[in-house]
Structure 1
Amino acid sequence: MYLAVKGGEAAIDATHKLLSETRRGNVDVPELDCVQLREQMSLLIARVMNEGALYDPDLAALALKQAQGDVIEAAFLLRAYRTTLSRFGSSLPLDTAKMHIRRRVSATFKDLPGGQVLGSTYDYTHRLFDFSLTASGDRAEATVAPAPLSETMPRVLDILGAEDLIESETPEDGDPAPEDITRDPISFPAERAARLQSLTRGDEGFLLGLAYSVQRGYGHNHPFAGEIRVGDAAVCFAPEELGFEIELGDITLTECQMINQFTGSKNAPPQFTRGYGLVFGHNERKAMSMAVVDRALKTDKFGETPAYPAQQQEFVLYHSDAVEAAGFLEHLKLPHYVDFQGELELVRRMRAEQGGEPE
């Protein structure tokens, strides 16, 4: 495919060298290292890990450095590397109720079991430049030791569940293993497990736009942020040869549960419904967008007729993948000489037949 590209191998080699020089920039300026990116660009690292479908802050930092900060290119690098890794099995389901909480807020209940934990957030900043950040070198600042938190915090939505005011979510009969979209392509209608995986890997900006559309012009649905929690959860694995589970380590996650209105149907009483988002790292905007879109896609469960873009499974899931979308768009930069010449001759011939410019 695109054999014409081979004719410019020398030029391609030269552009690779130029790319390396461009990436480095002014050699008089100290070079960024991957540790700096990992520690000081953690929100960006989280986005790359999500869209790259691999939890590894060090590799995400390397990908960002290699891609000059291009998130989609970095995610592409991470996904490509992921395909080379061996599979040893599947981890056990995460218990996010036992997360070591860094941040936990709810917009629906002021007084929560365990309390509101504001943590690290830009929510209360004034969006004014801090010009002191332009200074180089370490800035020593006093730190306040956080108050000890309960090891487990009850889920906010369980408050509504206790009164049977929100849809229940229970495993299907037999609790079948979820589909793995990295091994098998999505088929439609897609199961919710496949949809959630696809949304987690989806482009943050695209999902944000879809979530906005649900609240605004298409859907007129105003969800409530039932709970947003950021923290570290243990990843456990049960090797067959051992017969018991072992803890592999902790990963940082952001979880969001949205509460939506539902007027009821023939089969269900008026109640609240759920939207769910779970992503790598500290990434609240992505988790919230995912939760809003997840609820929009649950039309089959509630007997709703898909009426707007965010409710269309194929539209959402096929177009939310930034890596695939970028590849399809950017292939337009590759040679299309023969195709275009055919189109050009066709237009000239039609113009001549209509009495326009002669052939």
Structure 2
Amino acid sequence: MMMQLLIRSEKDGILCPLPQYPLYSASIALHGGSFVPYFLDEEIGWGLEVDELKKQVDEARSKGITVRALVVINPGNPTGQWLFDTFYFHKVLAEENQKKIVEFCKNEGLVLLADEVYQENIYVEDKQFHSFKKIARSMGYTDDDLPLVSFQSVSKGYYGECGKRGGYMEVTGFNADVREQIYKVASVNLCSNISGQILSSLIMNPPKVGDESYESFMVERDGIISSLARRAKALEEAFNSLEGITCNKAEGAMYLFPRLHLPQKAIGAAQAAGAAPDAYYALRLLQATGIVVVPGSGFGQAPGTYHFRCTILPQEDKIPAIISRFKEFHEKFMDEFRDVSRDEAPTGTTIESGGD
């Protein structure tokens, strides 16, 4: 709906992260707009730098594209990172970096599209979710100052009800005439089914202190999040223990996005098979183990790098067996393509089991 509202022609562009959840690039293409990418920096934990945003906006404008909005996914999909972490190089606090993003959108006249559907999935003790609306209000901005759309979904979070569709967006900072058009677009569509509407209501209004169900709710909620954190850590450590794979820490969401440093022989074999190297790896993994991962080439990645996305969603008691099968495959794969004559080090990689 927001893409339909914002995009008038191919001369309208939307800033989106790379790697990105492909829904964005697909929606932009569907509505005839231009995808304007900005790269997350893997070297600093998939961090977002305002300088990169400014660079991409200026480049798009030089091509005659009017950049209309900025998409931010926090925590991230497919990378699983807490997008505004304390950067290793610049030591910018999360809230301070978010303020820079808000200021950037204000100065550049952009709509801020805040994909915050993983806000409950936080796996690091010293991090706390802050919505972009909260950050904007803390800076003194009102509805008159910044057009902001926040997204939430019953498919994500600790509830993860992927099969039951429901969710909402909160639209602030748009004038009455524009809001009226948004409601018209919404009215054309059929509503979610009843279970999706009930779930959306429950997520928006969870049990509160004093409610009869509050204690049992918190026990279940905290148990799910703790289990997801343990699964993420187990997979992260397993990936980093293997030759040819590096993996940033999973701080949130439901995913890891390991990088594959593939031998040149493996890259050559993929090219001979007419496949992207990470897609070739993922298909071999599926055939050998039954484990499904999604190639990084499906999400966008820096040129010359290869990744895969895996979820952390398999049941916790199945994770050790998954890790064992994965390790056995990966070690055989690396041995198969190792170039012994050149004494080659690997060069250039999610357990995907449910979720979106």
Normalising by the smaller structure, the TM-score range is under 0.3
TM-score normalised to structure 2 length: 0.27
Q: Which has the larger radius of gyration?
A: 1
Name the structure, 1 or 2, with higher relative contact order (CA <8 Å, separation 6+).
1
